[in-house]
Amino acid sequence: MSERKRVAILISGRGSNMKALVEASQDPAYPAEIALVLSNRPSATGLAYAEGAGISTCVIDHKSHASRESFDAAIDAKLRPSRIELVALAGFMRIMTAGFVEAWRDRMINIHPSLLPSYKGLYTHERALADGVKIHGCTSHFVRHDVDAGPIIAQAAVPVLEGDTPDTLSARVLAAEHQLYPHALRLVASGQAHVRDERVIISAQSMAAAPLINPPLR
Ligand code: GRF
C-alpha cells in the first residue's frame, strides 16, 4: 500500500467534520491518516472525541499570543516536527496570516457551508433562506489568504425545502459536509486533485450523478 499522508485537523468547536475525517481514515485503504488534532480553544468539544480515538491533540490558544504572526508561528512549529503533510481546517475560526497560508499553499483545505463563491463568511444558511435560493450546499476548497476563496475541490448541493429554518437547513448541509469533506481529502491525499492555474483538476473523473433539480420535476 502506498504511504498515507499525515494530516492535521484544526478545529475550534464541536468538530463534527473532524469526526467524519477520522472515521474515514479508520479504513486502512484511505490515503490519509489523522496524525494530529489541534484546537485554538481549550474548550473545543471535538478534542475529547479525538483523544478517545487515540489521536494526538494539542491546544494552541490564540489568546496567549500577542499577534496573529506569533499564533501562526506556534501552529507551524507544532505541525512541522509532527511531519504533517496536509492541513484540514474543520470549523477553525481563526483567519491565518498570508505567510502561514503561503507556507501551506495547496496543502491546506477547508470546508465551508455554502456553494462558493456564494455566501462567503458567516450566517450562510440565514442568507440563503433570505434570498429564497432553491439549492444550497457546501464546498471544500484549498485555502488562500482571501477568506472562503481558493480553488474548489468538490461541492455538494442540497435542496432548500418549504418551511426550512436556519437550523433545519444547516442540519441538511452538515450531513452533506460529512460526506463531502472525507471525499475531498481523499482526492487531495491520493494525488487525484491538484491545482493548475488556480483551478482544481481531478484526474480520472467519472460522470457526476444526475442533476439536483429543486423543486423536483415530479
Ligand atoms: C461547519 O459548518 C463547517 O462547514 C464550517 O464550520 C462548521 C464546523 O462544524 N466551516 P464542526 O465543528 O465540524 O461540527
Using the 3D structure, point to which of 66, 88, 104 is the last residue of a domain: 104
Q: What is the mean pLDDT of residues 47-68?
A: 97
Is position 112 annotated as part of the catalytic site? yes
pLDDT tens readout for residues 102-140: 999 999 999 999 999 999 999 999 999 999 999 999 999
**2: pLDDT confidence band, cut at 50, 70 and 90?**
low
Cα–Cα distance between 75 and 69 in angstroms, integer? 10
Which of 30, 34, 13 has the alpha carbon at shortest distance from 22?
34
Check whether residue 15 and residue 78 sit in a common domain.
yes
Check whether residue 98 and residue 4 sit in a common domain.
yes
Ligand 1 center from residue 91 Cα (angstroms): 4
pLDDT tens readout for residues 173-198: 999 999 999 999 999 999 999 999 99
Using the 3D structure, point to which of 104, 134, 168 is the last residue of a domain: 104
Check whether residue 89 and residue 70 sit in a common domain.
yes
pLDDT tens readout for residues 198-209: 999 999 777 777
The residues, any chain, with a CB within 8 Å of residue 90's CB and separated by 6 or more, are 9, 10, 11, 15, 17, 18, 21, 46, 111, 181
Q: What is the mean pLDDT of residues 155-164?
A: 98
Ligand 1 center from residue 8 Cα (angstroms): 16
Check whether residue 88 and residue 20 sit in a common domain.
yes
The atom of ligand 1 lying closest to the CA of 173 is 2
Whether 126 is covered by a domain: the verdict is yes
Ligand 1 center from residue 217 Cα (angstroms): 32
The atom of ligand 1 lying closest to the CA of 15 is 12
What phi-psi label fits residue 31: left (phi over 0), alpha (psi between -120 and 50 degrees) or beta? alpha
Mean pLDDT of the chain: 96
> What does pTM read for this prediction?
0.96
Instruction: Using most ligand atoms within 8 A of CB, pick from 170, 174, 181 the residue to mutate for ligand 1.
Output: 174
Check whether residue 34 and residue 128 sit in a common domain.
no
Check whether residue 5 and residue 67 sit in a common domain.
yes
Check whether residue 193 and residue 121 sit in a common domain.
yes
Strands (E), 12-99: 32-39, 57-59, 86-89
Ligand 1 center from residue 140 Cα (angstroms): 11
**162: pLDDT confidence band, cut at 50, 70 and 90?**
very high
Domain range for residue 69? 1-104
Whether 216 is covered by a domain: the verdict is no
Whether 187 is covered by a domain: the verdict is yes
Whether 214 is covered by a domain: the verdict is no
- What pLDDT score does 204 carry? 75
On whether the CB atoms of residues 90 and 21 are closer than 8 A, the answer is: yes
- Per annotation, catalytic residue among 62, 112, 178, 194: 112
Closest residue by Cα to atom 5, ligand 1, is: 91
Cα–Cα distance between 44 and 110 in angstroms, integer? 18
Closest residue by Cα to atom 2, ligand 1, is: 113
Domain CATH code at residue 85? 3.40.50.170
Check whether residue 44 and residue 141 sit in a common domain.
no
Check whether residue 198 and residue 143 sit in a common domain.
yes
Cell numbers representing residue 159 in the block: 435542496
- Number of domains within the chain: 2
Check whether residue 91 and residue 186 sit in a common domain.
no
**218: pLDDT confidence band, cut at 50, 70 and 90?**
confident
Whether 209 is covered by a domain: the verdict is no
